Amino acid sequence: MNATIRLFDQDVRLRAFTAQVLCCEEGKGGYDIVLDRTAFFPEGGGQMGDRGRIGEAVISDTHEKDGVIRHRADRPLTPGAEVACEVDSLHRLDMMQQHTGEHILSGLICRTFHCDNVGFHIGADAVTIDFNTVLTPEDTARVERLANEAVWRDQPVITDIPSPEALAAMTYRSKKELTGEVRIVTIEDVDRCACCGTHCPTTGMVGQIKILSCIHYKGGVRLTIVCGMRALAWANAALAENRAVSQALSAKQGELAEAVERLLNDRDAQKLRADRLADHAFDLAARDETGAVRVIAAEGLAPAQLRKAAGRLAEGAALALVLIPRDEGWSFALSGSVDVRPAVKALCAAFGGKGGGPADMAQGVLDGGDPEAMRAVLATCAGAGTP
Ligand SMILES: [Zn+2]
């Protein structure tokens, strides 16, 4: 089949056009339509394929193989028919903004830090770009500023196919060795790159370039960015979240970090106070436990206090069991002057659960059981390990 005529190469702004259906084949979950000419850009170079309408059919994706562009349609079209076609302009603008934003940023980063762009992907929410160099937060802040200055200058994005001689004399970015005709995209003093994608005619159309994060990745860095309408959506989402936190904390926007810090300090102080109160309540309960077998179910005790409490309760006792309630059943610590391990076995056998530890201190969980029933079980074990 002949290669499809690529209308988007001639006019990147073209959205509505007419074409002839050359072929229609049923595929997985739809139909593949081939036209004699198309303004639908096929997936490639990190950019998603175009969407839109061809006649009555809804197009969800566009692909290319050996120069033939296939449009994924939700219904069949009749070969030979002349059809009115329309590219989804918002989706395309989104793609052009992300793609051109990537050119600007990658061009500036590769020039400034003498590195290569080694990966690029336009995702549903954000764009990732990988570089084989390390960038500091100051570096990314600097290039982000330079990239947005290039947007504000509203520079032309020039696309041409230079002669082999001119190309040989040219310095440009390319991910692979290229042969034959090479399409070069130039943004003066910013970027020169071999690329077949669709780009904004001028840098101003990109709107804004925002770096969201820069993380270490495969010995270099991975930048996550949003451009144009995605940058606006991101700012709106961040603002909405900011507003919700501001209302929840009754704090002014711009003073949220301090408000959260105050809240965390308050929480730590409360926790300290609650632990002290629980300790005190435990000591009061322990005053009534003076026998050889001692059992206390302590509501307010934190798991971290459990062992220490059992140790305290065990002074002068054969077996001392401290329980704190959990979602279902109890957490426990068992200490004493006798070997606690047979007692743990007996408790787990009687009430279900598991536990273990050295002879003088065991910890575990019990599936349920009444503390007084546990006292009765422990009483049978209290003499077991005594010499
Ligand atoms: Zn490009």
Q: What is the pLDDT of residue 229?
A: 97
| Residue 101 Cα to ligand 1 middle (Å) | 9
Tokens of 161: 């196919």
| Contact of 69 with 201, CB cutoff 8 Å | no
pLDDT tens track for 175-227? 777 778 899 999 999 999 999 899 999 999 999 999 999 999 999 999 999 99
Look up the pTM and report it: 0.79
Q: What is the pLDDT of residue 88?
A: 98
- Indicate whether 369 belongs to any domain: yes
Q: What is the pLDDT of residue 387?
A: 37
| Residue 122 Cα to ligand 1 middle (Å) | 12
| Residue 185 Cα to ligand 1 middle (Å) | 7
- Indicate whether 264 belongs to any domain: no
| Residue 171 Cα to ligand 1 middle (Å) | 16
Give me the residues of the chain with pLDDT under 50, please. Answer: 385-387
Q: What is the pLDDT of residue 382?
A: 85
Q: What is the pLDDT of residue 80?
A: 97
Q: Say which CATH number the domain at 346 has.
A: 3.10.310.40
- Give the number of domains in the chain: 3
Q: Is 180 left (phi over 0), alpha (psi -120 to 50) or beta?
A: left
| Residue 295 Cα to ligand 1 middle (Å) | 73
Do 81 and 102 fall into the same domain? Answer: no
> What is d(CA 331, CA 349) in angstroms, rounded to the nearest whole number?
15
> What is d(CA 65, CA 177) in angstroms, rounded to the nearest whole number?
20
State the Cα angle at 369 between 363 and 375, rounded to 5°.
70
- Tell me which of 60, 87, 114 is where a domain ends: 87
| Residue 296 Cα to ligand 1 middle (Å) | 71
Residue 291 main-chain phi, psi, to 5 deg? -80, -175
Q: What is the SS3 assignment for 368?
A: coil
- Tell me which of 87, 108, 143 is where a domain ends: 87
| Residue 104 Cα to ligand 1 middle (Å) | 10
| Residue 216 Cα to ligand 1 middle (Å) | 25
Q: What is the SS3 assignment for 23?
A: strand
- Indicate whether 253 belongs to any domain: no
> What is d(CA 220, CA 134) in angstroms, rounded to the nearest whole number?
5
**203 is in which domain, residue-wise?**
93-236
